[in-house]
Each structure stands twice: as structure tokens, then as C-alpha cells.
Structure 1
Amino acid sequence: MTARTCLSIVLAAGLGTRMKSDMPKVLHQIGGLPMVGHVLKALEEAGSERVSVITGPDMPNLESLVHELMPTAHCHVQAERLGTAHATLAAKSDLQDAADDVVVIFGDTPLVTSGTISKVRGQLAEGADLVVLGFETPEPLGYGRLLIDDGRLVAIREERDASEEERKTTFCNSGIMGFSGAHALALMESVGNKNAKNEFYLTDAVEIANQRGLKVVAVAGSEVETQGINTRAQLASCEEDFQNRMRLAALENGCTLLAPHTVFFSHDTILETGVTVEQNVVFAPGVKVASGATIRAFSHLEGADVGSGSVVGPYARLRPGAVLGAKTKVGNFVEVKNATFGEGAKANHLSYIGDATIGSGSNIGAGTITCNYDGYLKHRTEIGEGCFVGSNSTLVAPVQLNAGAFVSAGSVITDDVPGDAMAFGRSRQIVKEGKAAQLRSRLQSEKDAKSR
């Protein structure tokens, strides 16, 4: 397989009309990544070194995303939406540059895997000229049927055109096709538009290829994996299938999910073996959790790296740039943003740690805040190893606590603290004996006077 060249054509010109969206359909997200991004990733993993994406007019945001995710991809505009064969020919200039395999795939099939794409390419490598990916379903209503005769795919029959007997067929068309590069362009150009909508349907290539004596076959895939998305309801259903796939992968990788259906993953979430995840945890994009770590209930992580043996939560929030070393603790109602915790550092409760470095073994008391923003610019707080910051302290950045420094509870720290020094940044307590009794007596008298 690796010796064969491959051009993949991604059909992504669809509007979000049925989704009631102004955004191109394939930009809607599954697992925190636009649908087309999932498809591009699968194609790359399947060894497609060339990719052409067919967009619609005025879709610069889609083109920008494609070039961001896959800089080598080519975008081609389908000026008029005249069917799938018409769409593929928008990439005619790329088709003229020969490839062994040509894969045509929809941009709204985000659950398709590289293994399935490789399965299609495998049939081309074994001598097929045209390969159609199908799936079995107990409810084929609305799908085009794959008609097989003696192991040969003879036609794809749409529901409205199928006979009563053909409608009994449960092997249906996914829309994903593979062409031998030697015949791809000629077959696509031969597709006509003699149908009710006067559109050019790529599925007609099956009968054309058979008429030319070419080898046409179908391979079976998964209905879940090849599902397309046209509505918000289908988007939600696909998201659920994606989450179930990720949950199963985590469990099979040796992670513990105490309530799997309450844990939500992103497309790039990495949980190493031995991670424990409690209930109602959300992994937004960009999260990696090392082995032996525990993510406790109701925590939200995004763009964060959690070290081995660390404990996060419950009710913790890790924002982008949070890096926790081994055996750290970030507890309930602690928010961490763009901050690094050294090994064994702790912020157990009720704190905001932003734009900071926390040295190994340091302890951040409850209610501590790093004041990182002055209204115009962000500034860093540097806390060395073995420091102790007392509860309800405010660290006004830029400020540095050197190794072993101690900050007394309730302090406002605006200047650097030397190593092993103790800093007090608060007013000295004053005690006035009997003052409370005098105050109560006066206030009670005033209250009584108003009630007369």
C-alpha cells in the first residue's frame, strides 16, 4: 500500500441550510474539531499524500481551515452545485496528474477511519478499477442500494428508482468511492445528467464502468462510521457516537472511567494507561493526562498537560497553558491558566493561578490570587521551590518569591521576597478590650429609639 500514490477528493461544498446555519456544513464540530478536519486526518493516516478539497463559492473560512490543517492540500471551488460527479471534476487539474488510487469522500463523514479508507485502497491494489464502500443496515429507507451479482457491483440504485425487490436489499451506499487512477477522470467525465434534477451523479460511474468491462466491487464498512450529517439532530447523534468511541478507547487503553457516559472527550485527548476519571469531566481540545493521574468529578480541562500521579479537582478548571508536573494537586474551585506547577506543588482550593510558575513542593493556600493583568498587559508571578503562600493572599505581578519564601495569610505582596524570608503584607491587628460590648450597647439603643 505504501508504494502506491493516492489522490483524495473531499466533497465539502455543502451549505448548512438544513442545519439553519450560515456556516459551511463541514465546519460544524465533532469532538472539538470541524467535521472536515476529521476527514483530512483520516486521509493522511491512510497514506493519501495528495488531497483536493471541493468548496463552494465564498467559503474563505473553510479554505483557511483546510490550509491550516493540511498546508499541502488544494482547494477548488465548485461554482454551481450540479451533483457529485460535477463536484469531483472541479479538481480536474489534480486528476490529470496521475495517481495510482483516487478516493472520493464526503467532508461530512467525520467518523470514517483510516482503516476503512485503507480497505478501499486495498481493493484497488488487488486490481479493482472502481470500489464502493457500503454498509449493512436493518433500516435502509432513503439509502441507495448496492446491487451485487456474482460478487460484482452492477449498480447503485436510489430509493426512488428501485424496484420492490431491490428495496429489500440492506446493503447500502456510503458515498465513499475509490477509483483506479488510470480510469478515474474518464469515468467522471462520462457521467451524464439525464435525470429529474439534471445533475451529474458520481454513482452512475458504476454502470459506466461495468459497460466498459472494468472490475467494479463493493466492500463493507460500518453504518456508524460512514454516517453523514445534514441536520442538527444528526450532528448530535454523531457526537454521541464519537464520544462512545473515545470512551471505549480509553477503557481499552487501561483507564478507569467511573461513569463513562458522563465523560466528554475531544478529538485529540490523550489519556495514558492508569488514568482515573471521575464523573462529569470535560476534556476540551489539547489535553494530555499522564499515567496514574486522577481527574476528579466536575472538572474542565483545556489545553492542559497533567503530570503522572497528579490529582485534579473536584470542580477544578485547567485552562490553556496549564502544565502540572508529577504528583501535583489542583483542588476544588482552583483555576489555572498559562501556569506551570513543579513536582509536588499544591493549590488545594479556592485559588486563581494565572501566568505563573509554581516551584516544586510549594503550597498555595486557599483564596490565593495571582493578579496577572493590569488592564493592558499580562505579567508573571514566579514562585520558587518549597515556598508557602498563606490563605487569602494576593500576589501582584510581576513579582517573585524566591525558594523557601513564606507569605503570611491575608497578605498583599507587591515586591519580591528573598529566599527563606517571611513576608507580611497586611495591617497589624489591634485589640481594644471591651469595645465590642460598648458597640453592641450603642447600636441596640439606636435601634430601640427608631422603633418607638
Structure 2
Amino acid sequence: MCGGQGTRLDFDGEKPCFEIGGVPMIDRVIDALVASRIEQVFAVVSPDTPRTAAHVDVPVIEGPGEGYVADLERALDRVDTPVLTVGADLPLLAGEAVDWVLDEYDAGSAMVAVPVELKRSLGVSIDATIEAAGQEVAPTGVNVVGPPEPEQTLMTTDTRFAVNVNRLRDAWVATVLDDRRDDGPR
């Protein structure tokens, strides 16, 4: 899912092309999906992300650009479910993390969530919270869309799911935590 404008990042460009460690976030997410057991990757773009559409090296689905849900509905018209959806703002995602979601998923639809306390401890923004498993959690932007029932919440404390880059502070945290850096041990 890469149709967002990235207005909260306060930069002149498209959010999926925002770079962490010199690599556009969309490239990082696609690399993670390709490194996983996912069979096919599509980029769902919008009229707000023409450079992203031209940049990616995977099939593109054009969303209407009327928000995440409208873009997702357009994509679901073109693919079979269940389908894994991933936001383009998860630059720390890796193939084995995606495979964890596939291993944990049983049936129906699923949302990956992290404890709000984890996001607070990392210093990243929290845009939405829900109650699950007796605690306050934050959706990560990784979901399995399938039949409506059963609905699962897949809980993790893996920081690769906790860092959604929505603001410049989030980008800074992602850069600090980036395991692709070549500056020696941390």
C-alpha cells in the first residue's frame, strides 16, 4: 500500500520514496516481501504517487486516491484473498518478519499489532490504538485480508513492525535502528 502523500513528513516528495539510510522506504518493503515466502507482490499506488508507480519494479495497481480504504478495495478487486497488506512506511521490515506473520495466520482476517508501550519506548508516533489481549496496542500497517471471520490480532514486540515512518522523528528512529547500516556494531 503506497498511495500516501506523506504530508506529516514535511518534505517535498512522495511518502513511499522517502529515504531511510539512502534507500526509499518502498524499496525496503518490497525487498522484505521478496525475501519472504510471499508469492506475488503488487504496489497499490494512487494519483498522489506517480513517481512511486514509475519507480517500483513490481506490478502496479492504481487506486483511486480517495484514502487507504478506497485504494485497498480497488486492490482487492484485482487479487484473490487472503492477501497480506503492508504499508510502505515500514522501512525496517525483513523477510523473516513477514514469514512470521504467515506462520501465525490461521484463517479469516488478521491485524499485526505491537504494545503501545513498545512504541513509546522507541519514541515513535502512535496514530491509533485499540484494546487487545488485555492491553493497549497499536496496529502496525501489516494485515491479512480474508474472510471477515474469524478476526485475529497477531501480537508482537518485534521493533521492525513498530516503526511506521509518519513523521520526521519516526524517520530518525528508523535510521538509528536500521540494521542495513554499515557503520559497525551497535
TM-score, normalized by length of structure 2? 0.82
Q: Which amino acid aligns with 1:59?
A: T
User: Secondary structure of the residue that 2:132 maps to in structure 1?
Assistant: strand
RMSD: 2.6
Tell me how far apart the structure 1 counterparts of residues 39 and 132 of structure 2 sit (CA, whole Å).
32
After TM superposition, list the pairs within 5 Å mapping 1:33-72 onto structure 2. Answer: 33-57=23-47, 59-67=49-57
**1:228 offset after TM fit, Å?**
0.9
Larger RCO: Structure 1 or Structure 2 (Cα < 8 Å, ≥ 6 residues apart)? Answer: 2
User: Equivalents in 2 of 1:22, 1:148: separation in Å?
Assistant: 40
Where does the alignment leave 5 or more consecutive residues of structure 1 unmatched?
1-10, 68-72, 150-168, 184-208, 252-256, 262-452
Partners of 1:142 and 1:89 in 2: CA distance: 22
Q: For residues 172 and 79 of structure 1, what CA distance do their matches in structure 2 show?
A: 27
**Which of 72, 80, 85 pairs up with 2:65?**
80
Give the letter aligned to residue 53 of structure 2: E
Distance 1:121 1:26, change over 3 A: same
| Aligned AA (1:76) | I
Q: 1:117 and 2:83 equivalent?
A: no
Match of 2:171 among 232, 235, 246: 235
What SS is found at the alignment partner of 2:27?
helix
Sequence identity, in percent? Answer: 17
1:142 positional shift: 4.3
Per-residue CA deviations over 1:349-388 (Å, capped at 9, x if unaligned) read: xxxxxxxxxxxxxxxxxxxxxxxxxxxxxxxxxxxxxxxx
Mapping 1:17-416, distance limit 5 Å: 17-57=7-47, 59-67=49-57, 73-82=58-67, 84-95=68-79, 98=80, 101-124=82-105, 127-138=106-117, 139=120, 142-148=127-133, 169-180=135-146, 183=147, 209=148, 214-222=149-157, 224-226=159-161, 227-242=163-178, 245-246=179-180, 257=184, 260=185
2: CA distance, partners of 1:79 / 1:238: 29
Partners of 1:120 and 1:135 lie apart in 2 by 13
Q: Which amino acid aligns with 2:70?
A: H
- Preserved contact between residue 134 and residue 146 of structure 1 (Cα < 8 Å): no
Note closer, same or farther for the CA distance 1:229–1:220 as it changes in structure 2 (3 Å cut): same
Could you tell me the TM-score, scaled by structure 1's length? 0.36
Closer/same/farther in 2, CA of residues 102 and 43 from structure 1, 3 Å limit = same
Given that 2:46 and 2:71 are in contact with CA atoms closer than 8 Å, whether structure 1 keeps it comes out as no
Secondary structure at 2:90's aligned position in 1? coil
- Which blocks of at least 5 consecutive residues in structure 2 are unaligned? none
Q: Is the 8 A contact 1:16 1:22 kept in 2?
A: no
* Larger of the two Rg values belongs to structure: 1
> How many angstroms apart in 1 are the aligned matches of 2:101 and 2:15?
25
| Pairwise CA distance, 1:223 | 5.7
**Letter of the structure 2 residue corresponding to residue 90 of structure 1:** R
SS of the residue 2:160 aligns to: coil
SS at match of 1:90: helix
**1:58 Cα deviation from its structure 2 partner:** 5.3
Alpha-carbon contact 1:137-1:223 (below 8 Å) kept: no
More strand by share: 1
CA contact (8 A) 1:146 1:173 kept: no
Distance in 2 separating the partners of 1:220 and 1:45: 22
* Letter paired with 2:95: S
Deviation at 1:132, TM superposition (A): 1.3
Q: State the 1:93 CA deviation.
A: 4.1
Aligned partner (choices 12, 20, 29) of residue 2 of structure 2:
12
Of Structure 1 and Structure 2, the greater helix share is in: 2
Query: 1:85 is matched by which residue type in structure 2?
Result: V
Q: Distance in 2 between matches of 1:222 and 1:29?
A: 24
Counterparts of 2:2 and 2:95 in 1: how far apart (Å)? Answer: 18
Report the Cα offset of residue 79 of structure 1.
2.4
Number of residue pairs matched by the alignment? 179
